[in-house]
């Protein structure tokens, strides 16, 4: 049996065809799409990277003295991946699954449901990665981050984008109504956003909570982004944390969404 005919085999061309459907929708309202993708991280960048940074002289991060602007700039790249990936994965996939029934109509063509769901995750991650790389490019252009560090960042951004997109799709698979997506948003996404070392070092938190926070995917991602964009020692432990979440969340999202759709 040729590889593409095995039910478990994925055909990249078919995945790309579905990804193009998402891109075509994005392209139709390009200005809106680009605006919502980059505005929110840019606002954070202005508020914290330039506004608050002028009040904070420096930050002790893993024993290295960093300017607050450098510190928070790298963190905002990570949080852009969280928010863009999660919201597109959660709300976007819920709309496509529940209201538009895109998954159901495509998965009766030669494109399989697994491929449709991979296209969904890749699209969600694409938007998140685009947003993060725009911020990284601005940081590099302004001389705040290492020049060309945004290029070295690509693999981490893709893994981070897929991880948070998978978290979104997983949430959508369990949500009975679109309002129920607020539960993971308030109890998981926002706590990660405020506690995972984006705006201040995790070492500033109470000692008892630090190990818990370090195990969350955003903390690992923020550490990795800082090590790459600021030329700090590579954080292998953070990479492990992120990869474990990636390996758990991506199949879990696939399985949960498949169970939601297929009786």
Partner 1 sequence: MTDESALPLVIDGLRKSYRTRGSQRLVAVDGIDLQVQRGECLGLLGPNGSGKSTTIQCVSGFYPADDGRVVLFGHDVAREPKQARRWLGVCQQEDSLDTDFSARNQLIRHARYFGISHRDAATKADELLRRLDLAGKAGKLVEHLSGGMRRRLQVARALVSSPRLLILDEPTTGLDPDIRRGLWRILAEERAKGTAVLLSTHYMDEAERLCDRIALMHEGRILDLAPPRELVARHAGTEEIEEEVRPGLLWKRPPNLEDVFLRLTGRQLD
By beta-carbon proximity to partner 1, the closer residue of 87 and 199 is 87
Residue 255 lies near partner 1 (rule: CB under 8 A): no
First to last CA, the chain: 28
By beta-carbon proximity to partner 1, the closer residue of 99 and 208 is 99
Q: How far is the CB of 25 from partner 1 (least distance, A)?
A: 5
Residues 21-40 that bind partner 1 (CB under 8 A): 21, 24-25, 28
What is the residue whose two structure tokens read 């852009």?
80
Residue 108 lies near partner 1 (rule: CB under 8 A): yes
- The alpha carbon dihedral of 181, 211, 81, 135 has a sign of positive
Q: Which of 54, 109, 204, 240 binds partner 1 (CB under 8 A)?
A: 109
Residue 204 lies near partner 1 (rule: CB under 8 A): no
Are the C-beta atoms of 225 and 75 separated by less than 8 Å?
yes
* Site residue total, partner 1 (CB under 8 A): 31
Are the C-beta atoms of 189 and 110 separated by less than 8 Å?
no
By beta-carbon proximity to partner 1, the closer residue of 176 and 263 is 263
Separation of alpha carbons 253 and 194, rounded Å: 24
By beta-carbon proximity to partner 1, the closer residue of 101 and 152 is 101
Applying CB under 8 A, which part among 19-27, 142-150, 162-170, 197-205 lies near partner 1?
19-27
Separation of alpha carbons 40 and 144, rounded Å: 19
Q: Which of 37, 112, 149, 163 binds partner 1 (CB under 8 A)?
A: 112
What is the phi/psi pair of residue 66, to 5°?
-115, 150
Q: Which of 206, 207, 233, 263 binds partner 1 (CB under 8 A)?
A: 263
Separation of alpha carbons 85 and 237, rounded Å: 23
By beta-carbon proximity to partner 1, the closer residue of 24 and 207 is 24
Q: Which of 34, 36, 56, 111 binds partner 1 (CB under 8 A)?
A: 111
- Which of helix, strand or coil describes residue 59? strand
DSSP 128-179: HHHHHHHHHHHHHHTTSS-TTHHHHTHHHHHHHHHHHHHHHHHHHHH-SSGG
Residues 78-107 that bind partner 1 (CB under 8 A): 99-102, 104-107
Are the C-beta atoms of 197 and 186 separated by less than 8 Å?
no
User: Which residues are near partner 1 by CB under 8 A?
Assistant: 1, 4-7, 11, 14, 17-18, 20-21, 24-25, 28, 99-102, 104-113, 261-263
């Amino acid at each position: 049996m040729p590889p593409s005919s095995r039910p478990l085999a994925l055909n990249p061309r078919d995945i790309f065809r579905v990804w193009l459907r998402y891109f075509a929708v994005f392209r139709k309202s390009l200005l809106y799409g680009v605006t919502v993708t980059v505005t929110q991280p840019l606002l954070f960048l202005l508020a914290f990277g330039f506004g608050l940074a002028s009040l904070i002289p420096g930050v002790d991060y893993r024993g290295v003295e960093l300017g607050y602007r450098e510190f928070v700039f790298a963190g905002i790249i990570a949080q852009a991946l969280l928010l863009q990936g999660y919201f597109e994965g959660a709300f976007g996939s819920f709309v496509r699954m529940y209201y538009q029934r895109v998954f159901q109509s495509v998965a009766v063509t030669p494109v399989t449901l697994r491929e449709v769901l991979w296209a969904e995750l890749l699209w969600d991650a694409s938007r998140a990665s685009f947003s993060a790389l725009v911020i990284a490019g601005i940081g590099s252009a302004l001389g705040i981050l290492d020049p060309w560090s945004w290029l070295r960042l690509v693999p981490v951004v893709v893994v981070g984008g897929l991880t948070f997109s998978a978290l979104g799709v997983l949430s959508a698979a369990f949500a009975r109504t679109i309002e129920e997506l607020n539960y993971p948003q308030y109890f998981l996404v926002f706590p990660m956003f405020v506690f995972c070392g984006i705006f201040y070092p995790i070492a500033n938190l109470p000692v008892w909570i630090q190990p818990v926070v370090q195990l969350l995917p955003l903390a690992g991602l923020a550490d990795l982004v800082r090590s790459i964009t600021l030329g700090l020692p590579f954080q292998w432990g953070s990479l492990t944390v992120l990869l474990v979440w990636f390996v758990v969340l991506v199949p879990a999202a696939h399985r949960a969404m498949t169970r939601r759709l297929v009786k």
